[in-house]
Structure 1
Amino acid sequence: MFHIPSVVRRPLAVAGAAVVGLAAAVVLGGSPASAHHPVVTGDATCVDGKWQVEWKVANSETDLDGDIVSATFTPTFESDTIKAGAVLPKFQGEASLLKATQTLDISVTKASLSVEAHWKRGRQNITKTQGATVNIPRGGCKTSKPAVAFADDCAGQVTVVVSNGEEATKDLRYTIVVGDEKVSEGTVEPGKSSEPFVVPGNEDGTPVKVVVKSKDKVIGEHEWTGPEGGCEPEIAVESTCDDLSISVTNPPEGLEFEVVFTPSTGEPQTMKVEKGKTSTVTFPASDGLTVTPSIGEDKLDAIAWENPGNCEEDTPTLPVTGANAGAIAGGAGGLLVVGAAVFFFARRRRLRFTA
């Protein structure tokens, strides 16, 4: 008989106990709370020079619905099914899965989804997060078809880039058309992209429409809608017993311009509106005070100081620590008009100077 030396016997016994314990954990499962989790998977396929991920989210539980607390897609993506507040049905096969299809440009090489879900089992509140990352299909997603990329700016301009398919067998001849006018044309080799071409916006402020053709066939069309971050500045007016304050907050993608504020009494003030910043002008309060904004020769609706009440000259007043609703409401009627007009005139004048 072969005898295991005592010096080896104890470590083997410990290892054996660990294996038995692990097997028991696998067979018997963990505690009910640890079993709850969303099951996130994704499958990638190439589609017309882009690629898509079909995301699926399943419930680990077969007897209890959950709900999604948050769903984070990278790159950002809005889903009508996999989203915060959606019910995560108890698992009953394929029909119980939540699904969403995300389309990505071939310049993006991977995508991910993280889902946080919640269950209430008896008196237990259970929350668990799980995610998955999917890579672009091996070898990338090539196509013989042309593609056109459009990018809007706040000046009403559209930048156009035309690409030829990597598997194309000949050069791509293209024409960029605005209305009935041919504004540019060129040739792109297989697997290459054109130099960016900037289509000027319309001077009347209407959105420009761009069509890209190849041999009279439309390969791309776009109407200006503005960049994702928005363009129109926000204007806030506040009347206190001492001042009329006007603030302009410009979005990060907004235009930079100057506004002159001319009061009915006192000296005008010029505000330089910069991207991503808030600028403020203040005028001493007085009965009948109005301030007229203007951009160049274009005048906007006047803004009037509204007495917030309790502003007697001889009566000491406490500092104002919050916005006076009545005072703000008094100027609110013209704010939307002023805000839209500031953006419109600034954009229009910007185009005139750069055309």
Structure 2
Amino acid sequence: MIRPKLSLRRPLAVLGAALIGLTGVVAVATPASAHHTTITATADCDQLTGERVITWKVENSETNKDATLQTVTADPATPVNVPSTSAKEVQLQGYVIDQASSTLAVQRVPGNTTTASLQVYAEWLVDGRKTAEHTDKGSINLAADKSCAPAPKCVEASEARYNHTFDGPKGTATVKLDGDLPLCGEGKQWFTLVSYFAPRPQFATPQYVYGTPDSDWIGGTQTEIELKVEIPDCHTQVDLIWGDGEQVIDPLVEGGKRYGDKKLGSAGAPGNRSTGPQGWYNGGDKSCTTPAATFASNCDGTVAVSLSNDGKTSKYPVEFEVKGENGWSKKVSVEAGKADTSIVVPAADAGKIEVLVDGKVVENGTYSWQRPEDCPLPAVTTDADCKNFALTVTNPEGGLPVKATFTYGDKTETRTVAAGGSETVTFKAGKTKAALVALPDLDLELEAIYTPEKDCGGGGAGGEEPGLPVTGAAAGGIAAGAVALLIAGAVLFVIARRRRVTFTA
């Protein structure tokens, strides 16, 4: 009979790293006689194969007799072998346990096994003659442990977990697969980074996608991705979401769809399957509008104001307020991408105009009325005879009233000439050869030379001989203005900055 002997102090090297975890709930049958075997067991999980590995320990109760294991019955009915350094397996059945000793035997069972038992029928011999026999049974409960399964070589996309970084103000994020295992098969998981125009630096709607969202996936050998989007130069929201570009909501509106727990770093699934900071950001210090104002002065003293909201970042309506100098004001809302040219500031309020948005003057939003260069100018005509010297100022329609000061000799008269009207002042002809017409609103002075249309009897007015038409040094001001020659007398009209223009009458 074969009687292999093994030292119990030798480690079971063949079990090695494949066996992890310890299960030890064992029931042992009570021996019915002095001669018996005691059976106990421990169990491990072989993660390479997914099997439970049970190590049975069978002890000989006798200190002076060897025990021969004649019959061994295992449940489940898989082989029960004594570890050996030889290539040949040593079965527990037929094995001889030395007196006062024990042996170990290994049994492999399926990973989902809940209980296992080992029954041993042993005989004790003296001089080859059987002196005793006994059947004993031991069992082990595996139900308390989770089923044993092979160590995974990959992770299913539905079970995978991730970690991420997120920098909202910079529009960057990374996502990385946790652990060392790739996703199984052709599995892929998409992630998307998206930025928005926003009406305020806190969450508010509506929001409109800015630029192009960045989407990428993790799968196969690709276990980490980087995402980057452009950020508008105004109020914005940036979101890192679970899914591809088809998950992007554009626009985000009041009462509409929301990302909810799709945002990475959320409390619920699927966003909570990635560890990291909250994957959303609201900020920006400028409004996503481009309010602008332009001005045009009219000859009648009014100012036309054009309001526009059509810049690159104009995504929302703008409430403009136009204020005049004397308390006049008007509010106008201009939609994104639109302009309004209907605002006309009255002449009385056009001295200083301001255009405001949210109480602040917009860039280049201050203006005062300036006389347009192409406005028609007042005309001066004269009518002279031997007794009278008459001067008339005519103001064209469509302009402002003008103040006119008439001076001849030591006489001065002042008139206000309405737009579309005229004013005439008649002086008694005297020895003075020239009259002066001043238009202070236009910064103009015009000089008229007294020249009657007929001979006044050898001496003219005052007995002097009438002279020839006279033009003075101020005639050089013609280069700076406009000249109008009218039928009713010789009229010279010039725009000049406090220059005197001489003409004859």
Interval of TM-score (by shorter of Structure 1 and Structure 2): 0.3 to 0.5
The structure with the largest alpha-carbon Rg is: 2
Tell me which of the two structures has the higher relative contact order, counting C-alpha pairs closer than 8 angstroms and 6 or more residues apart. 1
Higher helix share: 1
Task: Give the structure-1-normalised TM-score.
Answer: 0.33
